[in-house]
Structures are given as structure tokens and as C-alpha cells.
């Protein structure tokens, strides 16, 4: 049995890892010159510390990610979730509305799914609730990268009310994906770089995968490109099949701006700062647990779309100006050592950042996970069966699930 995996991101590597361990002939075709996809740990020019271009956190006590970290002998550490806001010239506690307890109570009682907007209009409809509704909308847009008019309450009611510990890999995510890639190689699997897949011709039990570098044959294919690329129909399938299910899942945009300073100036007045929420929907977070002078700026979804046309210089100036307001004692530009901007928008090669769950996602994901005639399969963070999408863990889980379905066919 031979299987081609399209993409060497977290889902693709996990699928190839599982298949190669069981003796399947696996070939991974990756468009870029590195593994990882939206996971990219590196030291850019001008920086003295490594940074994460994409995924950064381990979102809870996640069995597959933490199990792999242990197997790879990699360390992880709890991440600070201390959340602070800054506005009107002062710092204050974030998300401290008295209505959050009611939100959790009403959400837990839901018997039928609805959107966040529908939920807020039903339970928090009055003028006095306006600040709380805005807080919820900002959280949906800024952190989930989601449209409140489509975002599933069944998805976020647990996520938003959970107090589970969050972690970050001490050495970044790259060593973990490197561990998977090394294992694939030891098991005689291949990872080929610079091979951008453009079309897949198929019939039951056979595929012909056309890349910019040539044509590759196999019994089946696992496509792990981003949901944004699938929604954009960047890979042509022949014969075509009904692929409307891709459009039933949300996929948001984000701008990530990483700053390295000469020292962590914010610690003088905010020594426990984890996350900082500011006006104009700019979010920042620190590397408190790693004690590094790195500050990440984050602009999500609609705001990211609005600002995406700005140059790197103008965009970074906007965020630095906001930091100067919050920390006026320091001339932040003078102590800035380096900056790097990563754009996960509809204009980027990923066509967005990561997925979020709509009220239609569950049905769509179930259909996607059935594959096409046991020949074409899809895996990725957007297709995790539980609907807990948008993380490295969900990508790992999806890749493993599809690989094991293929292995059952082999038996």
C-alpha cells in the first residue's frame, strides 16, 4: 500500500508518522522548504531569541501533544494567563464583567446549538448589557478569529469557561515536529520539499497527484493543506465531488507581530503580565514563563482584514504607539531590538490563520472524515472530530485518526 500525504504540517506529519510505523509506503509532498506549516520556530535576523511564527501554546492537558513531548524528551512549562486590559490611561482586570457567571450558567443549559450573537441577544438583550456583548464579540473576533453571527455556542461554552492550565514548549514547537519527521525517515518514509500539489486525478483505489515538480502515483492521498486553501479550491480534483462541506467551517484571519526588546520593560509596573488587551482590538502577550524580552502583538479576524493592506512598518508603528501609551516611562522604539510580522490572511499562502466552529461544522466535519471512496482523505486542525479545532493538538488528532482509518483498510 502506498499513500501520499499533501503537506508536512502537524496533521500531515502525524499521519505519515502513524502510517510509516506500520510499514505503509509513505511520501509527503511539501510545497515549502521546511516542515511545520503554520508551526515555525526560528531565530529571524536581528533577534537573539527564537520566536514562533505560528502556533505557540499547548491549550490544556492535551493527551496526544503532551504524550509526544514526553516521548521526544522535550520540556514544556505552564504559560501565564494573567489577563490585563489598558484603556483610558489605566490598567484594569480583563473580562471581569459580573455577567460572566450568568453566561456560563445559561450556556451550560443550552439543549440546542445557536450562534454567539443569537445567544447574547436572547440572554443579554438590554442596554446595560452592551459592554458585555462587546466584550464577547471582541473575544470571538480577537482570539477565536470568528464571526459572532456564525460561531457555535456549543463550541465556545466550554472553551470560554475553562480554567485548564495552558503550556508552551520550552524550545518551541519545531523540535516536536522534527521528532515526527525523524521517525518517518527511520521508517523509510519520504518527505519531499518544493513540491506544490496543484491537481489530483483519482479513481477508487488510485490517485495521480500532480505537483509543480512532477506526477506521483499512489493508492490513496491524505490532503492536509489549510482549510482556507480548500475553501479557495487551490487543488483541482478530477473527477470533482461535492465539496460544499468545506464552506460550512469557519476560517479566520490574523496578523501576528513579534517584538524583541532589550529588556522586558513591562515587568516594572506589570510584573505578572501574561496577556494585555488594548483599545483598537490590539492584543499583546508576554513570554513570562520563559523570562524573555519578547512581546507578541495579535490582531484578529475583521480587524486583521481591515489592517492587512498596511505595510509592515506602519503596522508595527501602530502597535508600538499603543505600548507607549500603556508604558509611557519608556521610549519603546529606542529599546526595540527587532520585529517580525506574520500575515495569515486571505492574501497569504495559507488563506487565513486557523479554523473555528460554526453551527454547521459538526455535520460538515463528520462528512469530511468519511473521505471520498476510501481514496481521498482530508486531515487538519479544522477537521478534528470533537469540534475542538484550531490547535496543534487538533491537527495531531485529525492526522492520526485518518491514518488509522487507512490502516484498517489495509487489514
What distance in Å separates the CA atoms of residue 39 and residue 289, rounded to the nearest whole number?
20
Q: Which CATH architecture has domain 80-164+254-345?
A: Alpha-Beta Complex (3.90)
Average pLDDT of the residues in 337-355: 97
Listed by start position, the domains of the chain span 2-44+50-57+171-248+359-409, 80-164+254-345
What distance in Å separates the CA atoms of residue 63 and residue 162, rounded to the nearest whole number?
17
Which residues, at least 6 apart from 126, have a Cβ–Cβ distance to it below 8 Å? none
Beta pairing partners, 62: none
Q: Which of 80-84, 93-97, 121-125 has the highest mean pLDDT?
A: 121-125
Exposed, middle or buried by CB within 10 Å (0-12, 13-18, 19+), for 382? buried
Residue 382 DSSP code: G
345-346-350 Cα angle (round to 5): 75
Which residue has cell 480587524?
A: 303
Q: Which of 90-104, 114-128, 271-285 has the highest mean pLDDT?
A: 114-128
Residue 341 DSSP code: E
Percentage with pLDDT > 70 across the chain: 100
Which residue has cell 479513481?
A: 203
Residue 255 has pLDDT above 90, yes or no: yes
Residue 375 DSSP code: T
Q: Beta-strand (E) ranges in 21-122?
A: 25-30, 41-42, 51-52, 76-78, 83-87, 90-93
Per-residue pLDDT, 132: 96
What distance in Å separates the CA atoms of residue 50 and residue 48, rounded to the nearest whole number?
7
Residue 210 has pLDDT above 80, yes or no: yes
Residue 363, C-alpha cell as written in the block: 455535520
Residue 218 has pLDDT above 80, yes or no: yes
Q: What is the largest CA-CA distance in the chain?
A: 67
Residue 372 DSSP code: B
Average pLDDT of the residues in 248-275: 97
What distance in Å separates the CA atoms of residue 258 and residue 274, rounded to the nearest whole number?
15
Per-residue pLDDT, 280: 86
Per-residue pLDDT, 411: 54
What distance in Å separates the CA atoms of residue 131 and residue 138, rounded to the nearest whole number?
10
Q: What is the pTM of this model?
A: 0.96
Beta pairing partners, 93: 84
Percentage with pLDDT > 90 across the chain: 94
What distance in Å separates the CA atoms of residue 283 and residue 299, rounded to the nearest whole number?
7
Plot region of 80 (φ>0 → left; ψ -120 to 50 → alpha; else → beta): beta
Q: Return mean pLDDT, the chain.
A: 96
Per-residue pLDDT, 289: 87
Asked if residue 273 lies in contact with residue 287, where contact means CB atoms within 8 angstroms, the answer is: no
Which residues, at least 6 apart from 48, have a Cβ–Cβ distance to it below 8 Å? 260, 337
Residue 81 confidence class, pLDDT cut points 50, 70, 90 = confident
Per-residue pLDDT, 387: 83
Residue 204 has pLDDT above 70, yes or no: yes
Residue 410 has pLDDT above 80, yes or no: no
What distance in Å separates the CA atoms of residue 232 and residue 366, rounded to the nearest whole number?
21
- Going by C-alpha positions, the residue among 272, 374, 396, 384 that lies closest to residue 3 is 374
The fold of the 2-44+50-57+171-248+359-409 domain, in CATH, is FAD/NAD(P)-binding domain (3.50.50)
Per-residue pLDDT, 250: 98
Q: What is the pLDDT of residues 51-70, one digit of tens each?
A: 999 999 999 999 999 999 99
Amino acid at each position: 500500500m502506498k499513500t501520499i500525504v499533501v503537506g508536512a504540517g502537524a496533521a500531515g506529519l502525524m499521519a505519515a508518522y502513524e502510517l510509516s510505523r506500520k510499514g505503509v509506503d509513505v511520501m509527503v509532498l511539501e510545497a515549502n522548504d521546511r516542515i511545520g506549516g503554520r508551526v515555525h520556530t526560528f531565530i529571524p535576523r536581528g533577534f537573539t531569541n527564537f520566536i514562533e511564527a505560528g502556533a505557540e501554546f499547548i491549550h490544556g492537558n492535551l493527551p496526544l501533544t503532551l504524550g509526544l513531548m514526553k516521548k521526544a524528551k522535550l520540556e514544556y512549562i505552564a504559560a501565564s494567563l494573567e489577563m490585563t486590559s489598558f484603556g483610558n490611561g489605566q490598567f484594569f482586570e480583563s473580562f471581569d464583567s459580573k455577567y460572566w457567571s450568568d453566561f456560563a450558567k445559561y450556556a451550560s443549559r443550552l439543549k440546542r446549538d445557536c450562534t454567539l450573537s443569537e445567544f447574547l441577544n436572547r440572554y443579554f438583550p438590554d442596554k446595560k448589557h452592551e459592554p458585555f456583548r462587546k466584550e464577547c464579540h471582541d473575544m470571538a473576533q480577537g482570539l477565536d478569529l470568528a464571526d459572532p453571527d456564525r460561531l457555535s455556542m456549543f463550541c465556545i461554552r466550554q472553551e470560554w469557561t475553562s480554567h485548564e492550565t495552558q503550556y508552551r514548549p520550552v524550545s518551541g514547537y519545531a523540535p516536536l515536529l522534527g521528532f515526527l519527521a525523524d521517525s518517518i525517515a527511520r521508517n523509510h518514509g519520504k518527505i519531499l520539499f518544493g513540491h506544490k500539489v496543484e491537481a489530483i486525478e483519482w479513481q477508487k483505489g488510485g490517485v495521480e497527484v500532480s505537483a509543480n515538480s512532477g506526477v506521483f502515483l499512489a493508492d490513496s492521498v491524505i490532503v492536509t493543506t489549510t482549510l482556507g486553501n480548500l475553501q479557495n479550491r487551490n487543488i483541482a480534483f478530477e473527477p470533482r465531488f461535492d465539496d460544499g462541506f468545506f464552506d460550512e467551517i469557519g476560517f479566520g484571519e490574523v496578523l501576528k507581530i513579534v517584538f524583541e526588546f532589550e529588556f522586558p520593560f513591562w515587568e516594572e509596573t506589570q510584573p505578572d503580565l501574561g496577556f494585555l488587551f488594548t483599545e483598537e482590538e490590539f492584543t499583546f502577550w508576554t513570554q513570562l514563563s520563559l523570562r524573555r524580552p519578547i512581546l507578541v502583538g495579535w490582531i484578529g479576524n475583521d480587524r486583521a482584514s481591515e489592517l492587512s493592506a498596511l505595510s509592515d512598518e506602519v503596522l508595527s508603528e501602530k502597535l508600538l504607539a499603543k505600548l507607549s501609551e500603556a508604558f509611557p516611562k519608556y521610549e519603546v522604539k529606542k529599546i526595540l531590538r527587532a520585529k517580525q510580522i506574520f500575515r495569515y490572511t486571505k492574501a497569504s499562502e495559507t488563506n487565513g490563520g486557523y479554523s473555528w466552529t460554526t453551527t454547521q461544522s459538526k455535520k460538515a466535519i463528520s462528512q469530511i472524515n468519511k473521505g471520498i471512496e476510501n481514496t481521498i482523505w482530508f486531515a487538519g486542525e479544522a477537521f478534528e472530530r470533537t469540534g475542538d479545532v484550531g490547535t496543534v493538538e487538533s491537527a495531531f488528532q485529525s492526522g492520526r485518526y485518518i491514518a488509522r482509518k487507512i490502516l484498517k483498510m489495509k487489514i
